[in-house]
């Protein structure tokens, strides 16, 4: 497995791309009609990779590892992330 979500969280560039901060805080009243993305993991970030003209999300485990590595000021470059 490459860490990409195999669920319905595959989207074209025309789909919802901005995370709904109201949903993250538990206060979005728009539900399915919200123009912004609602993530099940309730985090205000989402790492993605573009493959075949589609943006694909990383699964929650790798998403968190990427965010930790990116936010660590010791890292100048991130080449590989150990999964598992």
User: What residue segments make up the domains of the chain, in order of their start?
Assistant: 16-71
Please give the average per-residue pLDDT across 17-38, as a whole number: 86
Q: Judge contact between 26 and 45, C-beta under 8 A.
A: no
Q: How many CA atoms lie within 13 A of 29 on its CB side?
A: 0
In this prediction, residue 8 has a pLDDT band, given cuts at 50, 70 and 90, of very low
Rounded to whole angstroms, what are the CA distances from 78 to 3, 12, 38, 75? 16, 26, 27, 7
User: What predicted TM-score, i.e. pTM, was given to this entire model?
Assistant: 0.55
Question: Which tens digits make up the pLDDT trace of 47-84?
Answer: 888 888 887 878 888 888 888 988 999 988 877 766 65
């Amino acid at each position: 497995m490459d860490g990409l979500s195999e669920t319905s969280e595959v989207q074209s560039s025309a789909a919802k791309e901005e995370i709904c901060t109201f949903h993250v805080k538990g206060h979005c009243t728009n539900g399915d009609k919200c123009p912004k993305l609602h993530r099940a993991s309730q985090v205000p970030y989402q790492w993605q990779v573009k493959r075949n003209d589609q943006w694909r999300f990383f699964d929650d485990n790798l998403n968190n590892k990427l965010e930790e590595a990116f936010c660590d000021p010791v890292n100048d470059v991130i080449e590989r992330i150990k999964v598992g």
